[in-house]
Structure 1
Amino acid sequence: MELTTSQSKKKPRVAALVGATAAGKTAVALALAQSLGAEIVNADSLQVYRELDVGTAKPSLEERALTPHHLIDVADPPEPYDAARYCREGRQVLSDLERRRVPPLVVGGTGLYLKALLSGLFAEGEPQAGVRERLRREMGTLGLPALYQRLLHLDPVTATRLHPHDTYRIIRALEVMEATGRPLSQFIAAHRFQDAPYAVLKLGLMLPREELYRKIDARVQLMLAAGWLEEVEALLSRYPPTVKPLQALGYRHLINYLTGRWSFEEALTLLARDTRRYAKRQLTWFSSDPEVRWYNPEQVEEMAAVLAEFFG
């Protein structure tokens, strides 16, 4: 298999399986890992958290028993977890797999985590706790929309790629701006990967849009039947709704229902809308990467053959 210039044969080889939410990554990953003797490295920013199981479509204990999984259930919900920590812990996992000569299959839909792991992070300055706390107080007083509008004025490039409800990243972007005097988007634009540490093969799962939307709707119903609402109630009994993972897609929708802000029908309607938008953003992210080879989820044998050749 021909490798790109960033994929020297001397480098450790890593395969990645990416795609939008509900595209079928879990089932395909299990089939591929078993055919290769690979181990799965999670690249979903919510599956790192304990107690968030149903709403994150986390692989079941039975599925995890079939193939070793890494970086699942490694943090409690209130615990800080970001791309930098993921990169650090993920590279430790990849080093261990290389030492044991086990093929790694990185699986997930969080593009930033995948990029951090495989290519590295840009340096945008150390977190400024004092600035962050002040911004959080301002959010409590002015509301998140006001902070988002401020970011839209100061750093429109970053603001337009963030969801207006993404509290953590909005505050982080404003924090970087205040601490450095430079917008976060400038740090990203100036970042140049000197030398990729891995030889990487990226496989992507692609479905026709309407089929993907049907799968998204069906999965929401399956999650609710599996106890998603009860999971959210249990989380709210232990943690405040401002905890970062509870502000994530789906969880914040059910919290708005449970706290009386929305009716159940409103919560489901907005969840369906926002999940489709999220899937579209995921596809936009991964489609912009020319290294991703796209497959239908049913093409498991073709993907397995490509991976077998890649790992040799």
Structure 2
Amino acid sequence: MKIQGLVVLGPTGVGKSEVGLFLAKHLDGEIINFDSVQFYKELNIGTAKPTEEEKKEVPHHLYDVLDLEEEFNAARFVDLADKVIAEILTRRKLPILVGGTGLYLRALEYGLFSVEIPEDIRKEVQKKAEQNLEELYEELKKVDPEYAHKISRRDKVRITRAMEVFYATGKPFSSFHKENPFFHKKRYNFLKIGLLLPRKELYQRINQRVLKMIEAGWIEEVKRLLERGFGPYLKVFRAIGYGYLIKYLEGEISLDEAIALIQRDTRRYAKRQITWFKKEPDVVWFSPEEKEKILNWVKERLLWKA
């Protein structure tokens, strides 16, 4: 199958945007976002979006496409990304996907698992999750211990989804993975570039980046959103950092505490991303400092683009 694009993946803070932009400029490419929080308008500083200057250098797609109240999921991402990839290829440009939401990438590349959930079951499970997530997780352990042990007991999204599938089909969620592991035949042939740094260096970068975001006006960004009536209830405020800055603005914690918690949670998120991407097939790993090496590696495999 002909190569249909590049993917630049890796943990938060590793330098994906910089490498993606470098490759796009040298390979006549256009960048497509697959970072779940960067789809949203108005969440700018805290999500480390590309700057307006960077967006002017090469076309960027799927940034700032959602209002804050909009729900988003892997299925909708696949629908949007399919259209953008087709348009870019029609222009004889190179699609370059840049991001860190592994589920979205896998859904795009391999297709989506689909079970129709009746509305009454969806409402019942959602209600149980809201009332007592711990109890719902214990139920999941009984009906699908294999899947339950793979996820956190606090992972509301995955617990809810697994129980919806069980109630709707009578079969454990894990059995669908065995029958049709994620989930259909390959839809795209991507060259996948993984970026990684030694853990100590990555964590130092993350800590420094959080401080730079604060200096760049992250607190003011959150304050403006609250003043416009957007409350902590918004799902997008679950993105790392926003909740702690709201607590700081409401006087519940100090700024130093908020910063330390944001740094800690970002490091933990980076660790989870690395674990996910290490299981991703066909990824070739580089340091983000090796931009020329990455470019040459890509050119060798994209002779039609060299």
Normalised TM-score (structure 1): 0.87
Shift of 1:208: 0.3
Question: Is residue 202 from structure 1 mapped to residue 197 from structure 2 by the alignment?
Answer: no
> How many percent of aligned residue pairs carry the same amino acid?
45
Q: Contact 1:13–1:311 (CA<8 Å) still a contact in 2?
A: no
Of 185, 194, 204, 2:174 maps to 185
* Structure 1 counterpart of 2:217: 227
* Structure 2 counterpart of 1:215: 205
Which residue identity lines up with residue 113 of structure 2 in the other structure?
A: F
* Structure 2 counterpart of 1:16: 7
Between the aligned partners of 2:26 and 2:157, the Cα distance in structure 1 is 39
Q: How many residues align?
A: 301
Of 233, 240, 249, 2:231 maps to 240
Question: Is residue 76 from structure 1 mapped to residue 67 from structure 2 by the alignment?
Answer: yes
1:1-312 to 2 correspondence within 5 Å? Answer: 8-9=1-2, 12-123=3-114, 125-142=115-132, 144-162=133-151, 165-192=154-181, 195-236=185-226, 237-312=228-303
Between the aligned partners of 2:252 and 2:143, the Cα distance in structure 1 is 31
Q: Contact 1:23–1:205 (CA<8 Å) still a contact in 2?
A: yes
Structure 1 302/98 Cα, relative in aligned 2: closer, same or farther at 3 Å?
same
Equivalent residue of 1:201, what SS? strand
Worse overlay, 154-163 or 113-122: 154-163
Shift of 1:233: 2.7
Worse overlay, 220-229 or 269-278: 269-278
Equivalent residue of 2:39, what SS? coil
Between the aligned partners of 1:283 and 1:155, the Cα distance in structure 2 is 26
Cα displacement string for residues 68-107 of structure 1 (whole angstroms, at most 9, x for unaligned residues): 1111111112212100110111111111112111111111
Which residue identity lines up with residue 178 of structure 2 in the other structure?
A: A
Q: Contact 1:254–1:267 (CA<8 Å) still a contact in 2?
A: yes
Cα displacement string for residues 174-232 of structure 1 (whole angstroms, at most 9, x for unaligned residues): 32232222333332333245532322210011100000000010011111111212222
Between the aligned partners of 1:202 and 1:251, the Cα distance in structure 2 is 31
Between the aligned partners of 2:141 and 2:127, the Cα distance in structure 1 is 19
Which residue identity lines up with residue 207 of structure 2 in the other structure?
A: D
* Structure 2 counterpart of 1:5: none
Worse overlay, 232-241 or 42-51: 232-241
Cα displacement string for residues 260-290 of structure 1 (whole angstroms, at most 9, x for unaligned residues): 5444333333322222111111111111224
Q: Contact 2:110–2:184 (CA<8 Å) still a contact in 1?
A: no
Structure 1 95/65 Cα, relative in aligned 2: closer, same or farther at 3 Å?
same
Q: Contact 1:49–1:75 (CA<8 Å) still a contact in 2?
A: yes
Between the aligned partners of 1:80 and 1:215, the Cα distance in structure 2 is 31
RMSD between aligned residues = 2.3
Equivalent residue of 1:40, what SS? strand
Shift of 1:306: 1.8
Q: Contact 1:168–1:244 (CA<8 Å) still a contact in 2?
A: no
Cα displacement string for residues 143-166 of structure 1 (whole angstroms, at most 9, x for unaligned residues): x44444544554444445545554
Equivalent residue of 2:37, what SS? coil
Give the unaligned 5+ runs of structure 1. 1-7
Normalised TM-score (structure 2): 0.89
Structure 1 190/270 Cα, relative in aligned 2: closer, same or farther at 3 Å?
farther
Between the aligned partners of 2:219 and 2:139, the Cα distance in structure 1 is 34
Which residue identity lines up with residue 311 of structure 1 in the other structure?
A: L
Between the aligned partners of 1:121 and 1:139, the Cα distance in structure 2 is 24
Between the aligned partners of 1:187 and 1:80, the Cα distance in structure 2 is 25
